[in-house]
């Protein structure tokens, strides 16, 4: 059984009369890269603020490291690194000087500055003024600040927001290395589904304050099965034949038929059915839904 780092139980929150979160129960496994996904305004940032104790849950139903955040906030935060919204940096100071100010507040050894600079690959730029940094470098410097206390858990809110493709790739590679090489559990919120899909081990999808899905990417694929594209000599006859075997298919292009399948073993049966009735099959290809397709399918199904 996986050990959970974060757990919320029926978490709800409102700003005045406006409900922001409704009955959100999360379980974030230790050692995971957990994607917290949803469109802007879905409740992601509010959830993160609650997890960090920046706003207080009246029901005390949030636990981090198996401790209620309302009762143990300071001891919990000593084990957490966070990057929330835009980086807070002093542009006239060097990257090293910015890190040193945070190091003094955290009371960690000075050697840790060189360690985190190496982790985020900013050693060569450590003594340049931050105003000369690209946005991606500023994001990596902010992440270095969150690593100074060598946290077990990283909580990141939209860490690739505003970055160009190269900056997004650099951040993605950095998060993978932090998880693989440094053993960090990473909770990352994002609306960039195609990027998050490349790194997460587990994910939750939230929309309009409600949790629509939680689990692994493989489990999400099972919720919305893959589909098969068949190239055939007689698409109309193939559709009729498939319907007689309880498969719902449609023609999507010239000589192409598409249908959903629940398991790979169905592919062989479909091929045998068509060929057995004299229909030539030129190609039979399984296509997995990407995360964006799955998200849209899931949110549309819940409307």
Ordered structural domains, the chain, with CATH:
4-221 (3.40.50.300), 227-287 (3.30.70)
Q: Are 238 and 274 in contact (CB under 8 A)?
A: yes
76 sits in which H/E element: helix 73-77
pLDDT band at 4 (very low <50, low <70, confident <90, very high): very high
Q: What is the mean pLDDT of the chain?
A: 87
Is residue 229's pLDDT more than 90?
Answer: no
Return the pLDDT at 84: 86
Helices and strands in the chain: count of H runs, count of E runs: 11, 16
Q: List pLDDT tens digits, range 159-196.
A: 888 888 888 888 899 999 999 999 999 999 987 777 78
Is residue 290's pLDDT more than 80?
Answer: no
Return the pLDDT at 293: 66
Return the pLDDT at 289: 61
Q: Are 236 and 252 in contact (CB under 8 A)?
A: no
Is residue 201's pLDDT more than 70?
Answer: yes
Is residue 235's pLDDT more than 80?
Answer: yes
Return the pLDDT at 11: 95
Which of 90-99, 162-171, 221-230 is the most confident on average? 90-99
Least confident of 7-21, 116-130, 131-145, 252-266: 252-266
Q: Are 160 and 172 in contact (CB under 8 A)?
A: yes
pLDDT band at 111 (very low <50, low <70, confident <90, very high): very high
Which of 111-120, 274-283, 284-293 is the most confident on average? 111-120
Model pTM? 0.79
Q: Are 258 and 229 in contact (CB under 8 A)?
A: yes
Please choose, from the candidates 286, 298, 158, 155, the residue with its C-alpha nearest in 3D space to the C-alpha of residue 219. Answer: 298
Sign of CA dihedral 176, 178, 181, 185: negative
pLDDT band at 76 (very low <50, low <70, confident <90, very high): very high
Name the 3-class secondary structure at 86: coil
Bridge partners (DSSP) of residue 18 are: 15
Q: List pLDDT tens digits, range 95-108.
A: 999 999 999 999 99
Extended strands (E) in 169-298: 185-190, 202-207, 210-216, 227-232, 249-253, 256-260, 281-287
What are φ and ψ of residue 252, in 5° steps? -105, -20
Q: Judging by DSSP bridges, how do beta strands 185-190 and 62-64 pair with one another? A: unpaired
Mean pLDDT of 74-81: 95
């Amino acid at each position: 059984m996986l050990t959970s780092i974060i757990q919320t139980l029926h978490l709800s929150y409102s700003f005045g009369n406006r409900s922001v979160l409704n009955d959100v129960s999360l379980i974030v496994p230790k050692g995971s890269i957990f994607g917290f996904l949803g469109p802007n305004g879905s409740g992601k940032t509010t959830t993160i603020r609650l997890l960090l104790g920046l706003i207080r849950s009246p029901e005390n139903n949030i636990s981090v490291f198996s401790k209620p955040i309302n009762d143990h906030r300071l001891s919990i935060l000593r084990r957490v690194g966070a990057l929330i919204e835009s980086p807070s940096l002093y542009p006239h100071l060097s990257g090293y000087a910015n890190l040193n100010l945070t190091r003094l507040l955290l009371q960690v050894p000075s050697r840790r500055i060189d360690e985190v600079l190496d982790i985020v690959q900013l050693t060569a730029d450590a003594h340049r003024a931050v105003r000369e940094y690209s946005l991606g470098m500023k994001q990596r410097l902010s992440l270095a600040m969150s690593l100074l206390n060598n946290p077990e858990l990283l909580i990141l809110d939209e860490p690739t927001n505003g970055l160009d493709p190269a900056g997004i790739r650099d951040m993605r590679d950095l998060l993978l290395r932090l998880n693989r090489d440094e053993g960090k559990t990473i909770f990352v919120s994002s609306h960039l589904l195609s990027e998050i899909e490349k790194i997460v081990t587990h994910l939750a999808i939230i929309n309009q304050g409600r949790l629509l899905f939680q689990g692994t990417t493989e489990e999400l694929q099972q919720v919305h099965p893959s589909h098969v594209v068949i190239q055939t000599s007689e698409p109309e006859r193939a559709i009729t034949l498939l319907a007689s075997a309880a498969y719902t298919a449609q023609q999507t292009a010239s000589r192409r038929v598409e249908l959903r399948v629940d398991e790979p073993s169905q592919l062989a049966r479909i091929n045998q059915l068509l060929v057995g009735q004299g229909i030539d099959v030129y190609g039979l290809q399984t296509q997995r839904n990407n995360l964006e397709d799955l998200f849209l399918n899931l949110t549309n199904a819940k409307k």
